[in-house]
Amino acid sequence: MSHMRPSYSAVCLLAALATLAGCTRSLDERGVREFIDRADEAARKRYAPEICELRAENFVLKLEYQSLDPRAEPARSQMNRKLYCREAGKFSRLRQYRLVRKSLAIDLAQDRKTARAIAEYEQTLPYYTDTYMPATPDDFRHFVVIESRDESVIGIEGGDVVFLSAEVQAEEVELL
């Protein structure tokens, strides 16, 4: 029976090493691109839990948003993960939404622990005026087209690829 102990110990050692290897996982461009594809698909479905699971515990979003009114100053806000996820839950009520990625550039850090992704998007979503109170989320008369430039930092947390932070500049460009 003593000859079984080294085998059992070896298995335990290999399992521990495999766990450590998972913690030191590195990023590559293909993996980052697949992650962003998955994040875009989650946004298209507007399913908040799936959107939130792709954000790090300390995720921060900095947003600058310009409305159609050229006289209005851009709105600036910053959200932590908790607030971001709560807003994603509200977003899930929209039935009519379109997201198109126009471009994507990925820059891997030298240590391959993080990557910077810059993407340009076009979103089309319902437009609700200040003067009209909708009865339901589907009660709207226009769509608004929003163009954005998203710069995200992507990394590994708990063995999973996640967004660590994002800076977004968005502008309403057209009312349909």
Q: What is the 3-class SS of 68-137, one letter each residue? A: CCCCCCCEEEEEEHHHHHHHHHHHCCCCCCEEEEEEEEEEECCCCCEEEEEEEEEEEEEECCCCCCCCCC
Separation between Cα atoms, residue 28 and residue 46, nearest integer Å = 27
For residue 129, the model assigns a pLDDT of: 74
pLDDT in tens, 136-169: 666 677 889 999 999 999 999 999 999 999 999 9
* pTM of the predicted protein model: 0.80
- Give the pair of three-digit tokens for residue 67: 């409305």
For residue 13, the model assigns a pLDDT of: 36
For residue 15, the model assigns a pLDDT of: 40
Q: Which residues does the chain have with pLDDT short of 50?
A: 1-24
